[in-house]
Amino acid sequence: MTPRQRRMALVAGIVVGVGIAGALALRAFRENVMFYFDPTQVVGGQVKAGERFRLGGMVVAGSLQRTPGSLDVRFAVTDFRSTVPVAYSQVLPNLFKEGAGVVAHGRMNESGVFIADEVLAKHDEKYMPPEVTRSLKQADAAAPAAAGAR
């Protein structure tokens, strides 16, 4: 091979390699990306059956129930329009509190309970997951309209 051909082969090899890496990354991305839904969207049936997603909202005050002596907990997450029951059986994060913001990862089961495999609570007093803030704002905006209709 002449030096020129060799250089072209090198460039072609690099392009093919980078292309393969890109395609693999894109596939991993498509398969593993998780969408966020708030309780109203969940209740409204916007989530495909069996899809793993992020659920966000506020933990309903007084909704936390424990099976004494075990890790199983149940609580409800609300955006003040709709409420979704959640079941979880691992250690809850430090900042998990009733009446505070929360994001949970998991799936809905047949009886309409969100089975969480990961729960994230807001990180400190000031911080709130932006998407939760947004759905709460939407709920606020919707509330007067709903009251007027009634």
Partner 1 sequence: MLVELAHFSMILALVLSAVQAIFGLAGGARDDARWMRAARAAVAAQVVCTGLGVAGLVHAFIGNDFSVLYVAQNSNSALPLFYRVAALWGAHEGSMVLWIAILALWTTAFALSSRQLPRTVVARALGVLGLVSCGFLLFTLVTSNPFLRLLPPAADGRDLNPLLQDFAMALHPPILYAGYVGFSVSFALACAAMLEGRRDSLWARWMRPWTLLAWAFLGCGIAMGSWWAYYELGWGGYWFWDPVENASFMPWLIGTALLHSLAVTDKRGLFKSWTLLLTVAAFSLSLLGTFLVRSGVLVSVHSFAADPARGVFILVFLALVIGGALALYAWRAPTLGSEAGFELVSREAFLLFNNILLVVAAAVVFGGTLAPLISETLGLGTLSVGTPYFNPSFLVPILPLLALLGVGIHARWRRGGLMQSPRRLLALAGVALVLGVGLAVGAYARHEVLTSVGAVLGLFILGSSFLDPLQRLRRRQNLPAALIGMTVAHAGLGLFVLGVTFVESATIERDVALVPGQSAEIGAYTFRYEGGEPLQGPNYEGVRGRVVVTRAGRDVAVLAPEKRRYFVQGSVMTEAGIAAGWNRDLFVAMGEDVGASAWSLRMQYRPLIRFIWFGALLMAFGGVIAILDRRLRAAPTAAAP
**Element (DSSP H or E) covering residue 106:** strand 101-108
Region for residue 61 given its phi and psi (left: phi exceeds 0; alpha: psi -120 to 50; beta: otherwise): beta
Query: What three-state secondary structure class fits 93?
Result: coil
| Among positions 45, 50, 130, 144, the unique one binding partner 1 when judged by CB under 8 A | 130
Listed ranges 11-19, 75-83, 108-116, 139-147: which one lies at the site for partner 1 (CB under 8 A) = 11-19
Q: Can residue 17 be called a binding residue for partner 1 (CB under 8 A)?
A: yes
Query: Residue 112 — φ and ψ, nearest 5°?
Result: 80, 20
Please list, residue by residue across 54-75, b when 16 or more beta carbons sit within 10 angstroms of its beta carbon and e when fewer do: bbbbbbbeebeeeeeeeeebeb
With CB under 8 A as the contact rule, the residue among 2, 5, 70, 111 that binds partner 1 is 70
Q: Which of 85, 107, 131, 138 binds partner 1 (CB under 8 A)?
A: 131
CB-nearer residue toward partner 1: 10 or 143: 10
Write the interaction track for partner 1 spanning residues 95-124; mark x where CB under 8 A is met and - where it is not.
x-------x----------------x--xx
From 15-23, 74-82, 109-117, 139-147, give the range in contact with partner 1 by CB under 8 A: 15-23
Residue from 43, 82, 87, 92 touching partner 1 (CB under 8 A): that is 92
Select from 74, 46, 75 the least CA-distant residue to 61.
75
Q: Are 123 and 150 in contact (CB under 8 A)?
A: no
Give the whole-angstrom CA distance, residue 81 versus residue 41: 10
Q: Footprint of partner 1 on this chain (CB under 8 A)?
A: 3, 6-7, 10, 14, 17-18, 20-22, 24-25, 28-29, 31-36, 54, 66, 68-71, 89-95, 103, 120, 123-131
